[in-house]
Amino acid sequence: MRTSNRRRGRPATSNKLVAYLLHHIQSLVFSLGKIYHSPITTIMTVAVIGITLSLPGGFYLFLKNINAMSGDIRSTTQITLYLDIKLSEQKARALERAISKTGNVVSTEFISRQASLQAFRETSGFGRSIDTLSSNPLPHTIIVEPVSSADTFAVKNLLNALQAMPEVKIAKLDTEWLERLYTILEIAKRSVVIVTILFSIAVLLVIGNTIRLDIQNRRQEIIVTKLIGATNAFIRRPFLYGGIWYGLLGGLMSWLIVEIGYLAIAGPLNRLNLLYQADLMLITFTFQDFIILVSSSTLLGLTGSWIAVARHLNQIEPT
Amino acid sequence: MIEFQNVTKRYPGGYDALSNVSLHLAEGEMAFLTGHSGAGKSTLLKIISLIEKPTRGIAQLDKINLKTISRHRVPYLRRKIGIIFQEHHLLFDRTVFDNVAMPLIIQGYRHQEIAKRTRAALDKVGLLNKEKSMPVTLSGGEQQRVGIARAVVHKPMLLLADEPTGNLDPVLSREIMQIFLDFNQVGVSVLVASHDLILIDELQKPVLTLNQGKMIHNDLNRDQYDQEVGGFRSPQVNEFSTGNW
Ligand SMILES: Nc1ncnc2c1ncn2[C@@H]1O[C@H](COP(=O)(O)OP(=O)(O)OP(=O)(O)O)[C@@H](O)[C@H]1O
Ligand SMILES: [Mg+2]
């Protein structure tokens, strides 16, 4: 066999590795070049991916914000004590002082019957009709704020102790609605998971379809390269990189969409802050969120193109 | 180089495109494959280039069985062959240079090596000045020559050509055949399927003739052949150069 001297130009092993890496880079750049040369298709695909992923992304951020807000609320859990209506203001104030010295209590606030009525008159809109009442129906109230570090059990104990006091008619812990909120949040969290899964599948399909069309358009090229001895891995590579680019750009686009959406929300939120003298801070994507979003989108791109390539590339054989 | 023993190719329709074909093309040898349209010429070349598998019989290329070869080894075996098609199969979205360089890129050659070899192959077919052109801007003969340059750029051991002069005028056909003769001169095995009996006769190389899938004339297996049928042609002297190029 005519061998060594005719084949001496063959790349040596180390050169082969370099050439292999070089080809990877070439495919990467080539697939980017292709994207650059067919901007319409690319922009459309990237936009579809971006919009699709911005939904779970935005939903996730929304939840994150709600979660942060509810965290604030949990730390301000308070117990409201409605005192016996016959208790005098003096005795009631003495009781407040006593309670404020108990363990697990951070602060107390006394609201007299008159103050309650006044507040009710102003906020309820029943002003005039309340004036017609012969006597004030409201009791004195004490608002007790447990230490925020206190666990649920300690708070419950405190509640029971307060309830046991003879002067206290009703002791009410404002957690019921919080629990309800948590249940809703839990439902919302699961919805985010479902939405994310569904929309990820949608992205897979979109990328898979784009790559499939790409493969069909380059059928002739695939046949020729197979005939001159290209391995399947070689032929696969530019398509896989194409998928990676679509995923990466789509991920970046979805991030951009969500950020812009939040900017749009920031205006009304500031007004809300003014109205309630609250200090709600809008949480946007952290750097970690950003990395997760973009890398999982890229991974979706790779997976989608992999599926398309596995399904369609082997079907193209020279005849 | 090529070894066929009673090879039969039956296409899914049930038609035997080749039946009991035997041939032996030694290393460095050159032969023409002729026969009427539908005789099975392309089928024979497709079996050698691993596009079709033989139904029965043994087909070997460089001692490798073409029927039992595993899928992942196919590309590597194809790299030993240069294939020239009638419909040249050029890619029209890239330059002549990039078309010719493809086999080298696939095999992972270094950049400088690719440039050097590609230019050498283009020079060989007389198209060095067209390396930056797009294939559409070339004439039919020029495109055919680009296809030849691509088939030889990686210095294959075997050159297969399926009607390479099909649509070309006699002068151009002769030029193309001369290129094949040149490659054969430097040791490359060559098998050319062609209708052009006049040209084939001029070139004084062994001829294989197929008729309805059967080998009815085989200059390559003279001894065996003389016994069976009697001589057709004056015996060919096989003095092929095996030098380097
Ligand atoms: N894929 C296929 N499926 C079924 N029959 C086929 C297939 N390819 C070729 N044939 C048949 O096999 C026979 C031989 O075909 P082949 O292409 O080898 O002939 P050929 O000698 O190259 O002819 P031509 O000179 O016209 O190119 C023909 O009758 C053809 O119809
Ligand atoms: Mg044919």
Q: In this structure, are strands B81-84 and B2-10 parallel, antiparallel, or unpaired? A: unpaired
Does residue B39's CB lie within 6 angstroms of at least one atom of ligand 1?
yes
Q: What gap in Å lies between CA A247 and CA A250, rounded to an integer? A: 5
Of all residues in chain A, the one with the smallest CA distance to B91 is A221
Q: What gap in Å lies between CA A66 and CA A233, rounded to an integer? A: 47
pTM: 0.73
Nearest to A15 among B51, B110, B187 (CB): B110
Backbone angles phi, psi at B33, to 5 degrees: -115, 120
What band does A10 get if pLDDT is binned at 50, 70 and 90?
Answer: low
Q: How many helices (H) and strands (E) does chain B have?
A: 8, 10
Ligand 1 centroid – CA B239 distance (Å): 33
* Whole-number percent of chain A with pLDDT over 70: 85
Does residue B145's CB lie within 6 angstroms of at least one atom of ligand 1?
no
State which ligand 1 atom lies nearest to the alpha carbon of B210.
Answer: 21
Give the closest-approach CA distance of B75 to chain A in angstroms. 4
Does residue B46's CB lie within 6 angstroms of at least one atom of ligand 1?
no
Does residue B42's CB lie within 6 angstroms of at least one atom of ligand 1?
yes
A–B: how many Cβ contacts below 8 A? 77
Query: Three-state DSSP class for A269?
Result: helix
Question: What ipTM was predicted for this assembly?
Answer: 0.84
Which pLDDT does position A198 carry in this prediction? 94
Which residues, including other chains, have CB under 8 Å from residue A175's CB and lie 6 or more apart? Answer: A77
Q: In this structure, are strands B214-218 and B64-65 parallel, antiparallel, or unpaired? A: unpaired
Which residues, including other chains, have CB under 8 Å from residue A127's CB and lie 6 or more apart? Answer: A121
Distances in Å between the Cα of B233 and the Cα atoms of A279, B23, B229 are 103, 17, 12
pLDDT exceeds 60 at position A149? no
Q: What gap in Å lies between CA B154 and CA B120, rounded to an integer? A: 11
Helix (H) or strand (E) holding B183: helix B170-185
Which pLDDT does position A12 carry in this prediction? 55
Q: Could A229 and B244 be called an inter-chain contact, meaning their C-beta atoms sit closer than 8 Å?
A: no
Give the closest-approach CA distance of A236 to chain B in angstroms. 12
Nearest to A225 among B28, B76, B102 (CB): B102
Distances in Å between the Cα of B158 and the Cα atoms of B31, B63, B65 are 11, 13, 16
pLDDT exceeds 50 at position B214? yes
- Residues near ion ligand 2 (CB < 5 Å) are B 42
pLDDT exceeds 80 at position A153? no
State which ligand 1 atom lies nearest to the alpha carbon of B39.
Answer: 21
Question: To 5 degrees, how large is the angle CA A281–CA A283–CA A285?
Answer: 160
pLDDT tens-place string over residues B121-174: 999 899 999 999 999 999 888 998 999 999 999 999 999 999 988 777 888 889
pLDDT tens-place string over residues A38-71: 788 888 889 999 999 999 998 888 888 877 776 6
Q: What gap in Å lies between CA A29 and CA A218, rounded to an integer? A: 17
What band does B240 get if pLDDT is binned at 50, 70 and 90?
Answer: very low
Does residue B19's CB lie within 6 angstroms of at least one atom of ligand 1?
no
Which pLDDT does position A39 carry in this prediction? 80
Ligand closest to CA B14: 1
CATH entry 3.20.20.70 includes domain A78-172: no
Across chain A, mean pLDDT equals: 82
Helix (H) or strand (E) holding A81: strand A79-83
Question: Residues B192, B197, B202, B208: what is their CA dihedral angle, to the nearest 10 degrees?
Answer: 50
Top mutation candidate among B41, B87, B191 for ligand 1, by most atoms within 8 Å of CB: B41
Exposed, middle or buried, A246 (CB in 10 Å: 0-12/13-18/19+)? buried
Q: What gap in Å lies between CA A141 and CA A162, rounded to an integer? A: 13
What band does B229 get if pLDDT is binned at 50, 70 and 90?
Answer: very low
Q: What gap in Å lies between CA B122 and CA B128, rounded to an integer? A: 5
Which pLDDT does position A280 carry in this prediction? 63
The number of C-alpha atoms within 13 Å of B183 and in the hemisphere containing its C-beta is 30
Domain-wise residue ranges, chain A: 22-72+181-312, 78-172
Does residue B47's CB lie within 6 angstroms of at least one atom of ligand 1?
no
